[in-house]
Structure 1
């Protein structure tokens, strides 16, 4: 009788242990993240002019951080970001991210790399993303395909 009670108790203990492990290993729910472009780049900028790109990130779960970074087809030519490291906001469910671009010099001599309709433009894009606990990352490229083609006369 004692042997039977010990084996039943052992089985219950093993079941509780396995249930705890399986519950702890369950993945976190995938957050719903939206990225909205509030202000983009103009198609033409004069030397010395600035334009600020703003993206609003919203989520149904708290993120560890949200970040936006620029990317250039011709780095250092035509356009530059005044904050090359991008913008970053820690801990939240909503963030407004901004990168300011400055027209550094003329784009007239830039070649046609077939990423924009014509030569003489600075192809620029940027990425916004949010990182969540557990390692999940949501991101969006602006524009979704191709580049913003900015002319600096």
Structure 2
């Protein structure tokens, strides 16, 4: 059933994530978060998020290679291992911090998510350009 409904499920999944992200940003805008938060604080959060991602991704890639995963598994581990998604973070924050200023609570993950999307897109392009390494155990054929 899933294979037959692949297109519908892909669009449903993407639309759900888009709505969650839009909801988080919309709530932050309606709370006036972007105008209330000093520019220095936004830059600080962005720098911390970039540093965390900059530590996580090379470490995850190193561990995947040390454990002997093939290229396809390394790529999967790299992209999935660094994810801290708004799609999961916002609903959890809504439950944990009901009645609070949700925009301020999820601000770090909103910024991290944007940096992560940009970095992962660049890494995906690089993986796509690099020649595919033969899978282990297949003799290179």
TM-score normalised by structure 1 residue count: 0.23
In terms of fraction of residues, the more strand-rich structure is 1
**Greater relative contact order (Cα 8 A, min sep 6): structure 1 or 2?**
2
